[in-house]
A and B are shown apart, each in its own frame.
Chain A
C-alpha cells in the first residue's frame, strides 16, 4: 500500500519536474541519489579497480614465466619491492592476494552487481528510483571508501596483505609470520568490513525495490531474467556476507586484542605465543560460508545479463524461462550448502567431505540446464552478432569449460591431488573470473547507450572480444596441464623443483597470452572513454529490445519516465512471435515490447 502511495507521489513529482529541483554539481555528480548516476559511479570505480587488479596479474605472470629476471617495469612499479628490477617473494604473494581481493570483491561483486542492479532494477521493473535513494548513495560511498583504503594498503611500509585472498590465519594473524600481516592486513580487514556494509545496504535496497516497486502488470513471472538474477544475488549476499564480517571481526580480535578464536599452540621465531584453544579450521568454515556463495554472487548477475542479451540478439524468447528461474533459485540455495568443498583436505572430518561432495555435484544439474537452455535459445535464431552478443556467447563457452572441471574438484577423492594446484586456478578463473568478466563486458556494451546516451564503436568491440576470447583460452586451458603436473599455486618460482622444469615453456605461453589480453583491454578502455564524449548519439531502442528500460528517453531525467510509468502487459521475451497466420504480432516488427497490450487473436503464453 505504502509502495503505491509513494508511487503516486513520485508521479506528481515527475510532472512538476524542473520547477524546484535545482540540482547542484555536487548533488548531481557526487552525492547523487539517482540510481542511474550511482550505477555509473559504481561502474567507473569498478573499472579503475579492475585496471589495478589486472595490471597486478600481468606483473606476477611475468615473474612466473621468467623467474628472477630483472624488469624495468618491476623497478618502476614496485620500487623497493623490486631491487634491481627483480621481484621480491613477499611482494609476489601480496600481488597475488590483492589481485584476488580486488577482482572478486571490488570488480566482480560491486563493479558488476552494483552497476547493473542499480541501473536495471528500477528501469526494468518500472520504478522511479530505488526504494531508498539515500541508502543507495551511502552504499556507493562506503564502497568508495573501502576501495580507497584497499588502495592505500598497497603503500604500507611492511607491505600489503599477502596471505592469499582467503586470508587464512595464523598466517594472516601474525606479523611475525609475514610482513604483510601487520598494518597491511589491518587495512585489508577494515576495508573489507566497510565493503560488507556497502554490499549489505545495496542488497537490502535491491530486494525491497524488486518486491515493492514493480509497475502495474509486472508480476514476478514477467520479470526479465536479469532482475531475477540480481534479486536472488542480493538475497545470497544478505545471507552470507554478514558471516564474513563475523570472521573478519574475530580475526581482528585475535590480531589486536589477544583472543584465541583461530589460533592455538604456536611457536614462531623462537618463542611460544600465548594462544590456546582456537582453530584455523573454524575460520575456513566461516570464510567459505561467504566465499562459496560469493562465487554465485559474482556469476549469477552475469548469467542474468547474458540471458537477456542472448534472447534479444537471437530475436527469440529465452528457452525455458521457468526452468531458468528455477535453476537460479536452485543454484542460489545449493550455493549456501557446499562451502566445505574448499576444505576437503583441511583436516575436517572426512564424513563432512562426503556430504559436501554430494551437494556440490548437485549444482552441476541446474548449471547444465542453464547451459543447454542458452544453446537452445541460439538454435534457429536470427542472431544479431553485436559485441554484447559475442561476449554472451563467450560466457556460455567459458562457463561450460570451467564448470566441467568443477566435477573433478567437487569430488573429494579427486580433489586430494589437484587441491591448491594450478588446476584449481584454471577452473575458477574460467568459470567465475572470465565468465563474470564477459558478463560485465556484455552488459557494458549492451546498456552503454542507456547509461551514456551514446553508442560504443562496434568494430573496436569486435576486436576487443576476439583478442580477449583467444587469449583467455590461451592462458587458462594450458594451465590445467600445469595443475595436473602437480604444481602448487602461489609459488614465487618453480625453479626449486627440477621436476617442474619442463613446464617453463607452458608458463611462458600463458604469460604471453595474458600480456596480449591485457593490451586488448586498452582497446576497450579507449572505446569506453572516447565514446562517452564522441560516440554516436544512441537511438532510443538500439537493439529492438522488449524490456521497458528502452521506453525511457535517451537523456537521463530524474524519475526515469517523463509521464506516467508504463503498464506492463506481457513477459519480456516476445521476440519473433507470430499469429496463427505466420505474421508477426505487430506487422513488420519482430519484437513486441512489454508495454504493448495483448493483440486480437494473439495467444498468450503461460507467463
Chain B
C-alpha cells in the first residue's frame, strides 16, 4: 500500500513539474519560441552539467558510505585473496579513469557552454594525442590481461593427481542440489540419468553395476567440506542448465545436462571461524537487526540468522530458481569424517530400499 502511495506521489510530482514548465513557458511567450537553445538555455544547462558531475561524485561517495559493507567480505578459499587482489587492482583503475573522464566531460560541457559571438576552435586532428591515448590503454590492458590470464589458468588447471584432492559431485535438478561423495576409494561410480530408479531410491542414477559406486554417499541436505583440502567438484544436471555459485569461495560453474563440468578450490576457513570474522559478524548483526524489526511487524520470515556458506543456483532454471540452494558446512577433517561416517553409502541405500 505504501508502494502504491509512493507511485501516486511520484506521478503527482511529475505532473507538477510539467505544469510548472507550462507556466514557465507562458510567462515568457512572445520572446523566443524557436525551440532552439539560446544563451540562457546554454547557461542553465551548462551549470546543470557541472551540477550533474557533482551528483555523480556524491552518488558514488554515498553508495560506498551506505552500501559499501554489503559486498562479499573475506574470501574463504585459497585462490580467493588472489581473486580479490585482481578485482581490487581493476576497480582502482576503473575508478581512476571514471573520475577523470567524467570530470573532463562535464567540466568541458560547463566551461564551453555556448554564447552568441563566441568562436569555437577548429581542431580536427592531432595524431600525437591520438597515439598517446591509444597506446596508454594498450599498455595498461596488456598488464591486466596478463595478470588475469595467469589467475585464470592456475584456477582452471584442475589436476586430480596433485595434492590428494577430495572428489565431490554436485548434482543439480529443478529445484534442489545434491552432493555425492566418492567414498573410501575417492572414485565416483559411473552415473547417468537413464539409471535413475526412484523405487530403489537411486535418485541421481548411479550405476549399480559399477563397483566404484557402492561406497558413494549422496547428501540431499548439506554440502560438507573439510577445511584445507583441495576439492574437485564434478557437476551434473538432470534437466535444465543450472549454475553452481558459491560466492564466498569465489567459485562458479554451470551444470549442463549431458556433460560433466568441473571446478576446484581449497576452502581455508571453517564455518565456525568465518562466523567470528569481524566483517561477517558485523553483517550478521546488521541483518539480525533488520530481521528483528520484521519480526516485530509480524513477518514470518524473520528468525534470527546465523552465518552459513551457501550454494546458490545462478542460471535461470524455472519458477523456483530463486530458492534453489544448499547449505555448505566447512569443518575440520575429523568433523568431516565423523559426518561422512553417519551417512548411508549407495550400497546401503539400495539395500534398504529393497
Contact = CB atoms under 8 A, between A and B. Distances in A.
Interface string B248-292: 101111101111010000000000000000000001001100110
A586 B202 CA distance: 87
Contacts of A285: none
Given A364-B137, A477-B59, A536-B33, A170 B120 contact: no
Nearest to B315: A420
A484 B317 CA distance: 22
B297 to A, nearest CB: 13
A554 B332 CA distance: 80
A315 interface: yes
A173 B157 CA distance: 33
A495 B71 contact: no
Given A456-B35, A493-B322, A536-B35, A316 B121 contact: yes
B219 interface: no
Contacts of A357: 145, 148-149, 152
DSSP majority for the B interface? helix
Given A378-B108, A411-B90, A481-B63, A347 B238 contact: no
B49 interface: yes
Contacts of B261: 347
- Which of B3, B6, B243, B291 has the most CB atoms of chain A within a 10 A radius of its CB? B3
Given A400-B98, A519-B10, A278 B125 contact: no
A54 B265 CA distance: 41
Contacts of A401: 98, 102
Contact of A536 (B34, B60, B314): B34
A393 to B, nearest CB: 5
B186 interface: no
Interface string B33-44: 111110001101
Nearest to A493: B322
Interface stretch (A65-73, A115-123, A199-207, A219-227): A65-73
B106 interface: yes
B165 interface: no
A542 B33 CA distance: 13
A177 B318 contact: yes
B352 interface: no
Contacts of A411: 86, 90, 144-145, 148, 152
Contacts of B323: 496
Interface stretch (B110-118, B176-184, B336-344): B110-118
B86 A413 contact: yes
B41 A458 contact: yes
A155 B150 CA distance: 50
A interface residue count range (under 10 / 10 to 19 / 20 to 34 / 35 or more): 35 or more
A397 B137 contact: no
30 contacts: A89-B320, A90-B319, A168-B241, A171-B316, A320-B130, A345-B254, A350-B156, A358-B145, A361-B144, A378-B108, A381-B108, A384-B37, A385-B109, A400-B101, A401-B98, A404-B94, A404-B98, A407-B90, A407-B93, A420-B245, A457-B25, A463-B18, A473-B59, A477-B60, A488-B312, A497-B310, A503-B70, A515-B10, A536-B35, A539-B34
Given A93-B318, A462-B44, A477-B60, 4 more contacts: A89-B322, A264-B259, A383-B113, A455-B35
4 smallest CB-CB distances across A and B, nearest first, come from A264-B258, A486-B247, A350-B156, A347-B261
Interface of A: 62, 65-66, 69, 71-73, 89-90, 93, 163-164, 168-171, 174, 177-178, 263-268, 270, 272, 277-281, 314-323, 345-347, 350, 353-354, 357-358, 361-362, 364-365, 368-369, 371-376, 378-386, 389-390, 393, 396-397, 400-401, 404-405, 407-408, 411-414, 416-417, 419-421, 455-460, 462-463, 466-467, 469-470, 473-474, 477-478, 481-482, 484-486, 488, 490-499, 501-504, 506, 512, 515-516, 519-520, 522-523, 526, 535-536, 539, 542-543, 573, 575-578, 590, 605
Interface of B: 3-4, 6-7, 10-11, 13-14, 17-18, 21, 24-25, 33-37, 41-42, 44-46, 48-49, 52, 55-56, 59-60, 63, 67-72, 83, 86-87, 90-91, 93-94, 97-98, 101-102, 104-106, 108-109, 112-115, 118-126, 129-130, 133-134, 137-138, 141, 144-145, 148-149, 151-153, 155-157, 173-174, 192-194, 196, 198, 205, 235, 238-241, 243, 245, 247-248, 250-254, 256-259, 261, 283, 286-287, 290-291, 301, 305, 307, 310, 312-323, 325
